[in-house]
Structure 1
């Protein structure tokens, strides 16, 4: 995907890439973007944040979510596999299904799939992290990232 891909995960791509190519010699960290259906702005609510955190911490643990940030109509997060037998697509589908079952709000739906990108170097991680954290500022939702309540960390996973 070249240089365009280093700034945003789905530039020039119409459908999400399938699978993740794991490297035996480096950290296998993935950066993910998941959007709401029709980009409806419902993600930035306490009930949504609480349910996602519980699901990611206790139920959807074959991939471990690290730093995440919710925007009104999409989310970004880093994750790493704890079970190479479960694809990222199956895992994303699982936690979306659990979320829908628990929330029981038919208007709150996610687009199918998600966009993901394997972090390939130590410079990519801070680039993606900074992009993610600047998102609410770029959209004029806050002046400082410290004021954005829709972010956090589930598991302490670092690029090394």
Structure 2
């Protein structure tokens, strides 16, 4: 009986502790994910409409589109940032270890999708400013699109990961 207790008690304790899940990411928010999908559609539509290049003289026709997209991105970034993100001592220890080995730590502690959304906003703001001043060439549109697609992929991937993990 005593031998059985020494086996069952540790086993029960392990099962109990394994049921405790440490959250390392913010909770999934369907409104953010849906907003991101809508924003990506608006952005790709904008790139399609400007893909042949633009002239500064017709900028007024695109100004409201830029404002709408940039405003939506900034709002989504704010929403993504406002989710509580659990503090992880494991992450801190990994960062300390990497720093001791001389490895640059790029993790700012920011929610990846929020950081990506901010970068998309910055990129589209630059595109808007160039478009307003002198128009954009087809090559410039393709370059801006390439950068935006990288950040959109990061944001969508992160938010889809949160959904799959049930956070």
TM-score by length of 1: 0.24
Structure showing the higher strand proportion among its residues: 1
Look at both structures and tell me which one has the larger radius of gyration over its CA atoms. Answer: 2
Determine which structure has greater relative contact order: mean sequence separation of CA pairs < 8 Å that are 6+ residues apart, divided by chain length: 2
Larger relative helix fraction: 2
